[in-house]
A and B are shown apart, each in its own frame.
Chain A
Amino acid sequence: MPTSSGPASPRARRGTSARASTKASARSPNAIEPAVVVRPVRNEDIEAVIGIDTLVTGQEKRAYWRSVFRRYGTGLESASQFLVADHGGEVLGFVIGEVRDWEFGSPPCGWVFVINVTPKVRQTGVGAQLLEAVCAGFRREGVRTVRTILARENTLILSFFRSQGMTTGPFIPLEMSLES
């Protein structure tokens, strides 16, 4: 599953890390056994995370993922979540999300800015399980809306988010070229 990216300004909130150990409540008909467990990322998972991202995007971003781990994987900020889907010790996917306050004038809401699943387990419910887990973390933080933003050509992940119930939100992304 490809990546989607959102804005980057974490809200400062210290606390315990997101604790996730979930199994999908509505399992996919193609669900794999034994059940996948979603849990917070560990340092030893980073190579697998890099591997999945490289497989999906075709570009290895080792330094980037190390910095993402330092920022989101420490468990020091309860508003941040970096979760992995663990299948008997094998990392099959990951999701990163964060609650942000008043970004773009919006009341606090959860942002999912990366979700990735290794291609061999697509359509097995792993992505849905990851999204469900990160949303559960957002609910614990007291927010009631989850958002993401991604390229409109990215129909694969657009379809995934749509299938999970996401719809067009109230914001419109704009841009302009800075070249003369």
Chain B
Amino acid sequence: MKLQQNTRLALYSLLEFAADPTRHIAASEIAQKYGVSPHHLAKVLAELARAGVVQSVRGVGGGYRFAGNARRLTMMDIVARFEETSPPETEPTPGARAIARVLGEIDEIAKATFSSITLATLLRSMQREPEGEAAADPPAPATAVASGRGLRG
């Protein structure tokens, strides 16, 4: 499955901030790392600031810093802010409804998975990653294929 670009950028940014909650990181630094424009990332960070999980720091050495609780903040908290997670409207035909039920099962499993993974768990999983699996480059900021329905992409 794929998440939309803004969702992934939000998660990447939060991992950067939460890895060292005392550090202020400039939006431009994260934008450069993930190959997106600072302007684009600023919108994502503004949404995270509205959610209260990052805080903007003004002045020299300013930027953003982590303001959440990494052991409580789950992937679902972030996904729900950036993706359409509401159930679809009632389908008109039996075939469409049968398919919608299957897609609904997938959505429920995805939601349960996202809800069970905290930022702290993600950070630990990064530390556990075997050397050989370390990506040479940061994740590609490819355009996500959004399904427009639920959590699937």
Which A residues have a C-beta under 8 Å from some C-beta of B?
A: 123, 152-153, 155, 158-159, 161-163, 165, 168
Contact = CB atoms under 8 A, between A and B. Distances in A.
B101 interface: no
B128 interface: yes
A152 B112 contact: yes
Interface string B104-128: 0000110011011110110011001
Contacts of A165: 124-125, 128
A159 B121 contact: yes
B112 A163 contact: no
A152 B108 CA distance: 8
A161 B121 CA distance: 10
Nearest to B113: A168
B113 A123 contact: no
B13 interface: no
Q: By DSSP majority rule, is chain A's interface helix, strand, loop, or mixed?
A: helix
B43 interface: no
Interface footprint category on B: 10 to 19
A163 B120 CA distance: 8
Given A155-B116, A158-B115, A158-B116, A163 B124 contact: yes
Nearest to B120: A163
A155 B71 contact: no
A153 B117 CA distance: 13
Contact of A152 (B109, B117, B118): B109
A165 B120 CA distance: 11
Contact of A159 (B109, B117, B125, B128): B117
Contacts of B112: 152-153, 155, 158
28 contacts: A152-B108, A152-B109, A153-B112, A155-B74, A155-B112, A155-B115, A155-B116, A158-B112, A158-B115, A159-B74, A159-B115, A159-B116, A159-B117, A159-B118, A159-B121, A161-B116, A162-B116, A162-B117, A162-B118, A162-B121, A163-B71, A163-B118, A163-B120, A163-B124, A165-B124, A165-B125, A165-B128, A168-B113
